[in-house]
Amino acid sequence: MSSRMEAEEIFKGLSEAVIAYDEDKSVEFAKAALENDVDPTDAILKGLAHGMEKVGELFDKQEYFVPEMLACADALNAAVEILKPHLKIRSEGPQVKVVIGTVEGDIHEIGKNLVRIMFDAAGWEVYDLGGNVKLERFLEEQQKTGADVVALSALMTTSMAAIPEIIKMIKSAEPRVTVMVGGAPLSWELARKYGADGYSPNCGTAVNDTLEAIRRVREGHGSWER
Amino acid sequence: MTVTDRAMKLLKGETIDRIPLFPFILGFCAKNAGYPIATIYQDASKSFELQTFTLEQYSFDWGPLYGYASYGTWEFGGEIKMPEYNYEQAPFHTRFPVNVEEDVDQLQLPDPAKAGVLPIAMEFSKLQASNQRPISIICGGNFSIAGNICPVETLCRWMLKKPELVHRIMKMATDHIVDVVRYWCEAFGAAQVIPQMWEPLAANIIISPKQFERFVLPYLVESSKKILAMGVQHILYHICGDQNKNLPMWTQVPTGNPGLCSFGIDIDLSVAIEYLGENNVIIGNIDPIALLSETPDTIYNLCKTAIEKGKSAPRGFMLSSGCEVPPEAPPYNVYIMQKAIKDSMASG
């Protein structure tokens, strides 16, 4: 890619490379962005993140599945590695800090990892605690990082029972923090019953669902409807 | 009629007095008798005893059973941890045998007499035999074992980037299933053994129907054919999660005459019957979350609907929870399943 490229062409190339989970192409276009003086933040937001948003939609429509999602994330991450050293601090779009993890008693991390990928792609600051996370660790990490959101995942009916305990812990110490929940046994109804601020049925909608929940918490809406 | 007569008659195609209640209930049995959940998995004799209490209390028509969804990790050289704390439901893996490509070269077929949990499972099956219960060994499904040998996310990446590695692990899992079932058949006689294969990881929330067709189906067919060739008459597949797009392919998996297929809430029983009812007893599919958190009335209605749909299954139907009954489920909700069956018989 030696000839001069327009920024729009690079954004499109990055986006398409992510959607096609083509790591070589995403790296190629990331290098082209630097060679053509395209702002690396724009390359991430208008190229890579845009592509990942489309990937989320494809996942939501069951056109993509976990293997494709992971491969798309790999293509995105490979390009981000090239662009990261050249990033200038710039605040654009919602800057969200999230603590995320799978709750105690549960080692299932796939769903949580897919949601983390979408949060990363949106440019959010993500603190991933991993799987089988002790209840009190979520609040500790939120207080340490000043996170706006705590996102809790569970796959088992037993581990799901930890969620209301964690929410109680967080809300009594940090009522302005938004708590999101997700995972196979959860639902809108259970999320609401447990005192969560929001629920996301899958990774494809996780970013928007979380933004919506943050808005509700900031506007002081105690309850939410679906 | 003994505990399992009803279900056995159903398998033979004989008339029975009511729909059997099939148990998918493990940790609940421990708590129900005042024991920690780990007892179900660590101690064959106690597990059998505790399950027997609960199965009798709620008039289940099958079991006890021994098995868990993380099967395969320990047997292939990884490590698992028994449930210990409040929020833990079943054994789970703490170290996978395969994490990187090179680990695949080190994989060896486990010895079914010695590997991992199999000695406990064998002790349990001896109790099944001496108590005239169906002899089951839960040792699959093929893709779920593969996902317990190697993290599922790694398997998923390899499906696209290094498919030959996925095939090697799938072949290893398939050979292992056949080895284990053969070992059980030698111990008890093939006609007595009803292997159970739980296949949650093949759900379409994880892999696509095309990936199922390429990476899972050929191995399911291979192990099933080999198991039936040993003289096994029935195989039970728990087709867990949303596998609606895989269902047409499941019809290619031989399961015996009849086989048994159980389903979770993501597959409508009428659809399950349409695809698999001709050759299989259909089992399912009361929502475990409902059993945990809904009212008895709701559970009762769910059961009534399931029974109504199940009645049209040509090879028969057994009512069951769609996946394991949550250990913390209110006991009355568990009782309601049997009540719904009895009421449905009374009302014709």
Domains of chain A: 7-86 (1.10.1240.10), 97-218 (3.40.50.280)
Interface confidence, given as ipTM, is: 0.94
Helices marked H in chain B: 5-12, 27-32, 38-42, 44-57, 101-106, 118-130, 142-149, 152-161, 163-188, 209-211, 217-229, 247-250, 269-276, 288-293, 296-310, 331-346
pLDDT tens digits, chain B, 348 residues: what are they?
677 899 999 999 999 999 999 999 999 999 999 999 999 999 999 999 999 999 999 999 999 999 999 999 999 999 999 998 888 889 999 999 999 999 999 999 999 999 999 999 999 999 999 999 999 999 889 999 999 999 999 999 999 999 999 999 999 999 999 999 999 999 999 999 999 999 999 999 999 999 999 999 999 999 999 999 999 999 999 999 999 999 999 999 999 999 999 999 999 999 999 999 999 999 999 999 999 999 999 999 999 999 999 999 999 999 999 999 999 999 999 999 999 999 998 876
H-assigned helices in B212-259:
217-229, 247-250
- Give the CA count within 13 Å in the CB-facing half-sphere of B40: 29
> Which of B89, B207, B288 is closest, CB to CB, to A67?
B207
Chain A positions touching B204 (Cβ under 8 A) are 62, 65
Q: Which residues of A touch B27 (CB under 8 A)?
A: 158
Across the beta sheet with B317-321, what order do the strands follow?
B196-198, B236-239, B259-263, B280-286, B317-321
Contact A161 B86 (CB under 8 A): yes
pTM of the model: 0.92
Task: Give A218→chain B minimum CA distance, Å.
Answer: 30
The residues that bridge with B95 in the sheet, in sequence order, are B79
Are A105 and B88 in contact (CB < 8 Å)? yes
Chain B residue set in contact with A, beta carbons under 8 Å: 27, 83, 85-90, 92-94, 152-153, 156-157, 159-161, 204-208, 211, 241, 245, 288-289, 292-293, 324, 326-328
Instruction: List the structure tokens of B129.
Output: 């035999």
* Record: contact B292-A157, CB cut-off 8 A: yes
